[in-house]
Structure 1
């Protein structure tokens, strides 16, 4: 069971990995970083990614459970765990994969992997981030 640093190092071993973060999406703080940042600053990247993650996790259009719509804001509308599994942003120079992590507390963290578009493998990254998120030990 890897901790934060081991998890990020393992993410960086993926083909095309340029940067990796563990971010608290409620505060926008990076809990850990590895590699480079697309804007040259890990904290800025974490805060900007948290805005995207927060929007996806909080808007019913993205976070609703499958099936008939439940009443907005009701607890039974969402299954246990993070409301969104992952987000993928395709940019001209790379991919950003945000994988939400289920935790024993409030599940408000996600792994963010920045991949080079030419050398990264998006499918492999999704599979490996899912595995890392399931094995990650926080605390």
Structure 2
């Protein structure tokens, strides 16, 4: 089992998780996906969230900020979507994407778990 498969499985064990993906924001393609919801098209989510990451990186650059994105949180009425760009040398250009059921998720705990998963993942 690859590190990516392990990371996806770990992401899906987070309370409230409905979908997880590892995405290449150069291409917008999901390299790996795992989901429990038929209603969530992870391929579409991967492509759409690529635009979010690129736009934020562009904005940071335009503002001249010497900052890295730790995570991006999108709060919907029924879900949380958490995007976490990977910072490892080998995994630059990738991000973790996690969709959570807002009624079942603990956001602070989910963000903490995602950080741990990112640290263990070497793609």
Aligned residues: 122
Contact 2:29/2:46 (CA < 8 Å) preserved in 1? yes
Contact 2:19/2:40 (CA < 8 Å) preserved in 1? no
Instruction: Name the TM-score, length of structure 1 as normaliser.
Output: 0.78
Please name the residue that 2:80 is paired with. 95
Q: Which runs of 5+ in 1 are unaligned?
A: none
Q: Which moved more, 1:105-114 or 1:126-135?
A: 105-114
Secondary structure of 1:78's aligned partner: coil
- Greater Rg by CA: 1
Query: 1:101/1:117 Cα in 2 relative to 1: closer, same or farther (>3 Å)?
Result: same
Report Cα offsets for 1:34-80 as digits up to 9, x if no partner.
014675432111000111111112212xx68xxxx7xx4xxxx536x
Contact 1:8/1:20 (CA < 8 Å) preserved in 2? yes
Measure, in 1, the Cα distance between the counterparts of 2:13 and 2:120: 16
Please name the residue that 1:22 is paired with. 22
Q: Which runs of 5+ in 2 are unaligned?
A: none
Write the mapping of 1:78-117 to structure 2, written as runs, cut at 5 A.
Answer: 78=66, 83-105=68-90, 107-117=92-102
After superposition, the CA RMSD in angstroms is: 2.1
Report Cα offsets for 1:61-113 as digits up to 9, x if no partner.
xx68xxxx7xx4xxxx536xxx3110000001110011111121471111010
Contact 1:94/1:116 (CA < 8 Å) preserved in 2? yes
